[in-house]
Structure 1
Amino acid sequence: MADLFPRVRTFALGYRMAEVDEYFNHARAAYEQPGLSDELAAIDVRRASFDLKRGGYSTAAVDSALDRLEVAFAVRVRERFIKEHGHDAWMAELARRAQVLYPRLRRPAGERFAAPGTLHTGYDRAEVDAALDRLTAFFDQGRPLTAEDVRSLTFKRRRAWGAYEERVVDAYLARTVDILLGAA
């Protein structure tokens, strides 16, 4: 069987090929025959992760394919919903889901998420707050913001007293991407 993605050099780290192949075969079946296999949602694709191995698949190539797959599943869900309930109902559903995000945006900078444990590191508070300010500007002022803008965010690591807990921030941003994909 031919490799699905380009491989990294022999001693470089890439994603474990068997895991990636299995995941993409499952995703293909779920997309091509919905209802016959386990359904996947865009957020499930975003949560996909693979172990690293020397000589594995290029992480950039696999991550790029995951982004495209996520969009494909999001578009299918949006089209199916609109066909059944109409465009206005879809926009109302997106607004309802976005309301869940809003309370955190209203918290003061530096207090939007919990800090990691004392001996741990997390995402730089100021950088995360700046990203959330962009999200607030999107909701309140209609400033441009895409799912790709949010997906491509990276934050410096800080010690606990200047950081937010990574898992909570990641989950919040994943929900944000889901909403932005639905609005696209």
Structure 2
Amino acid sequence: MTDLAPPAAFPTTSGRRKGYQPAAVDEFLSNARSAFEDEDATLTSDDIRAAAFPLVRHGYAVDAVDGALARIEDAFAQRERAAAMSRRGARAWVGASRALAQEILDRLARPARRRFRRVSPLRFGYRVDEVDLVAGRIARYLEAGEGLTIEQVRTVAFRMQLGGYDEAQVDAVLDAVVDVMQSVG
């Protein structure tokens, strides 16, 4: 008997490496496709950025899925930007983007080692020096247009340290940076 299942949408992992659970990824992508075709759907670029899937053996390769999700997020963000500009006008859209960029810059202008809330000395958080290095690069991008891509912001990874920066707060600022970068297109 032949297998009638469609071929895997992404390469799968082998050996001990884990990947995203294929059924969860396939379901999410199907819902995203439907939502993109239905302009009244509630799925947003933020929802796509926040998507998470269980890790399993013989799952979809994480890098391949993350790359596809980044492209889908960009498509949703572009549609959201166009809709917002037609509703509120380009001036209001630019003003909101500028305000968010200024809020990020205000956060990043804080003294080094004090840009984000710290976790308890007995808990792990993001390495302060690494986050501060990336924060400086983001600030230079926002202030002077120094080269930085959305992909670099999306894929930044920090090592952990006891008493480091609060992960949720740093991640929220990185998400806001992606929003600003997408809004300026």
TM-score (normalised: structure 2): 0.90
Q: Show the counterpart of 1:100.
A: 103
User: What RMSD, in angstroms, separates the aligned Cα atoms of the two structures?
Assistant: 1.6
> What whole-Å deviation, never above 9, does each CA across 1:34-93 have from its counterpart, x for those lacking one?
21x4x1211111110001011111111111111101100111111122233333332112
Q: Show the counterpart of 1:173.
A: 174
After TM superposition, the structure 1 = structure 2 runs for residues 29-178 of structure 1, keeping only pairs within 5 Å, are 29-35=34-40, 37=41, 39-160=42-163, 163-178=164-179
- Structure 1 unaligned regions, length at least 5: none
Separation in 1 of the partners of 2:9 and 2:119?
38
Q: Does 1:9 align with 2:9?
A: no
Q: Show the counterpart of 1:22.
A: 27
- Figure out how many residues of one structure are paired with residues of the other and give that number: 180
Separation in 2 of the partners of 1:133 and 1:70?
25
SS of 1:164's partner is coil
Identity of counterpart residues, as a percentage?
Answer: 37
Separation in 2 of the partners of 1:54 and 1:68?
25
Task: Give the superposition deviation at 1:98.
Answer: 2.1
Separation in 1 of the partners of 2:34 and 2:181?
25
4+ long deviations beyond 4 Å: none
Separation in 2 of the partners of 1:22 and 1:89?
36
TM-score (normalised: structure 1): 0.90
